[in-house]
Amino acid sequence: MVTIMGTLDDMLVFTALVSGAGNGSSKEITALPLLIGATAAAVCILSLAFQLSRIPWFRRCMKRVPMWALLGGIAVYVLVIGMVG
C-alpha cells in the first residue's frame, strides 16, 4: 500500500515537473512515458523492500517501529520537500 501511494505521489510530482519544465519547450511528454517511469519506480521500490525484508536484523528493527510513526515521518518528509523544492 505504501508503494502504491508513493507511486501516485510520484506521478503527481512528475506531472507538475513536466508541466513546469515544458514552458518554452516544443517537446511534449505524453502519459505513456510517465506511466512507464512510475511503474519502473514502483517495481524498484517493491524489489528493494522485498530484499531488505529478507535481512533478519532489518526485519526486527522495522517491527519495532509503529506504522503511524513510519507513515507520519514519510508525510512530514514529503511536506518539507514540497515546501522547499
DSSP assigned state of 27? -
Tens digit of each residue's pLDDT (9 = 90 or more) over 11-33: 666 666 666 555 555 566 677 77
Range of the domain at 44: 2-19+30-84
Domain annotation covers residue 24: no
Give the whole-angstrom CA distance, residue 32 versus residue 36.
6
For the cut 80, the answer to whether the pLDDT of residue 50 exceeds it is yes
**Count of structural domains within the chain:** 1
pLDDT band at 1 (very low <50, low <70, confident <90, very high): low
For the cut 70, the answer to whether the pLDDT of residue 76 exceeds it is yes
Average of per-residue pLDDT across 40-61: 85
Domain annotation covers residue 49: yes
Domain annotation covers residue 36: yes
pLDDT band at 55 (very low <50, low <70, confident <90, very high): very high
- Spell out the residues 6+ positions from residue 33 whose beta carbon is closer than 8 angstroms to its own: none
